[in-house]
Amino acid sequence: MRHVRSISELGRDRILGLLNLADRMAEINSRPVPKVPALRGRTVVSLFYEDSTRTRLSFETAARRLSADTMNFSVSSSSVNKGESLRDTVETITDMGVDAFVVRHKSAGVPWQIAQWTTAAVINAGDGAHQHPTQALLDAYTITRSRNSQDLAGLRVAIVGDIRHSRVARSNVEAFTALGAEVLLVAPPTLLPPVVSHWPVEVVHDFDSVVDSVDVLYMLRLQAERMNQGLVPSLAEYSTHYGLTPRRVARMSVDAQVMHPGPMNRGVEMVVDPAEIRGSLIHRQVTNGVAVRMAVLFDSLAVEPDHSALREEAR
Ligand code: ASP
Q: What is the pLDDT of residues 253-300, one digit of tens each?
A: 999 999 999 999 999 999 999 999 999 999 999 999 999 999 999 999
The answer to whether 272 and 246 have CB atoms below 8 angstroms apart is yes
Rounded Cα gap, residues 163 and 195, in angstroms: 12
125 CA: nearest ligand 1 atom: 4
Return the higher-pLDDT residue of 282 and 233: 282
Q: Which pLDDT score is estimated for 315?
A: 66
Rounded Cα gap, residues 138 and 239, in angstroms: 27
pLDDT band at 305 (very low <50, low <70, confident <90, very high): low
8-25 mean pLDDT: 98
Rounded Cα gap, residues 113 and 144, in angstroms: 33
What percent of the chain has a predicted confidence (pLDDT) above 70? Answer: 98
The answer to whether 170 and 129 have CB atoms below 8 angstroms apart is yes
SS3 42: coil
Q: Which pLDDT score is estimated for 306?
A: 66
The answer to whether 132 and 173 have CB atoms below 8 angstroms apart is no
Structural domain spans, the chain: 7-130+286-311, 133-281
Ligand 1 pocket by Cβ (under 6 Å): 126, 132, 167-168, 221, 223, 261-262
242-250 mean pLDDT: 97
As assigned by CATH, the class of the 133-281 domain is alpha beta
261 CA: nearest ligand 1 atom: 5
Task: Please provide the DSSP assignment of 136-204 as one string.
Answer: HHHHHHHHHHHTT-SS-TT-EEEEES--TT-HHHHHHHHHHHHTT-EEEEE--GGGS-S--TTSSSEEE
Return the higher-pLDDT residue of 232 and 262: 262
Query: Looking at the chain, how many residues does it have?
Result: 315
Q: How far is the CA of 53 from the centre of ligand 1 (A)?
A: 10
Q: How far is the CA of 165 from the centre of ligand 1 (A)?
A: 10
- pTM (predicted TM-score): 0.96
pLDDT over 80 at 63, yes or no: yes
pLDDT band at 140 (very low <50, low <70, confident <90, very high): very high
The answer to whether 110 and 86 have CB atoms below 8 angstroms apart is yes
Give residue-wise pLDDT tens across range 84-123.
Answer: 899 999 999 999 999 999 999 999 999 999 999 999 999 9
Q: Whose CA is nearest to atom 4 of ligand 1?
A: 126
CA 76 to chain centre: 24
pLDDT band at 1 (very low <50, low <70, confident <90, very high): low
Cβ contacts of 256 within 8 Å, gap of 6 or more: 214, 215, 216, 217, 279
- Superfamily designation of domain 7-130+286-311: Aspartate/ornithine carbamoyltransferase (3.40.50.1370)
Q: How far is the CA of 54 from the centre of ligand 1 (A)?
A: 9
Q: How far is the CA of 195 from the centre of ligand 1 (A)?
A: 22
Q: Which pLDDT score is estimated for 74?
A: 78
Q: How far is the CA of 74 from the centre of ligand 1 (A)?
A: 19
pLDDT over 90 at 229, yes or no: no
The answer to whether 110 and 132 have CB atoms below 8 angstroms apart is no
Q: How many CB atoms lie within 10 A of CB 209?
A: 10
135 CA: nearest ligand 1 atom: 2
What is the average pLDDT score of the chain?
94
Give residue-wise pLDDT tens across range 30-60.
Answer: 999 999 999 999 999 999 999 899 999 999 9
Q: Which pLDDT score is estimated for 313?
A: 77
Q: How far is the CA of 237 from the centre of ligand 1 (A)?
A: 22
Q: How far is the CA of 186 from the centre of ligand 1 (A)?
A: 18
Same fold, 7-130+286-311 and 133-281: yes
State which of 7, 160, 167, 226 you would mutate to test the pocket of ligand 1, scoring each by most atoms of that ligand within 8 A of its C-beta. Answer: 167
Give residue-wise pLDDT tens across range 114-136.
Answer: 999 999 999 999 999 999 999 99
Handedness of CA 114, 120, 126, 131 (dihedral sign): positive
Q: Which pLDDT score is estimated for 225?
A: 78
Q: Whose CA is nearest to atom 8 of ligand 1?
A: 221
State which of 134, 166, 259, 260 you would mutate to test the pocket of ligand 1, scoring each by most atoms of that ligand within 8 A of its C-beta. Answer: 166
214-228 mean pLDDT: 89
Give residue-wise pLDDT tens across range 142-170.
Answer: 999 999 999 999 999 999 999 999 999 99
Q: How far is the CA of 86 from the centre of ligand 1 (A)?
A: 22
pLDDT band at 308 (very low <50, low <70, confident <90, very high): confident
